[in-house]
Amino acid sequence: MEEAAEILGLAPGTVKNMCASGKLEAKKIGKTWVLHKNNLEVRKMVKNLNGVEIDFAQAVEHMDDEIRENLHDEMAPCTDQEFFTAYENAHKEKFNEVWFLSEENPVW
């Protein structure tokens, strides 16, 4: 935990909480959290229109290429949350349906 905290520039308690919440990929063995150095990347989370937290990197993989690229050209620079919300709205406008990650209980 100490080494991971040093690499991330965070307090060990913060890293432990991030492991427990799933924001860092880790396994718990007994009372010890085990992290692989290659997995020391903080997941960027965004909230969909229903307030459900979604991993932004995974969401991008499910976006329509044309909408994503158009929004990037129009909006950059912007926050991940601003981009995600704009994508949700653009998807509904283009396809006349709610994007599956915008649902109250998204499953992918």
Cβ atoms of residues 15 and 5 within 8 Å? yes
Q: pTM for the whole thing?
A: 0.65
pLDDT score recorded for residue 29: 92
DSSP lists the bridge partners of residue 55 as: 45
Peptide bond into 77 cis (omega under 30): yes
pLDDT score recorded for residue 44: 81
Distance CA 14, CA 2 (A): 11
* pLDDT tens by residue, the chain, 108 residues: 788 887 777 788 988 998 898 888 889 999 888 988 777 766 688 999 999 999 898 899 999 999 999 999 999 898 999 999 999 999 999 999 999 999 999 987
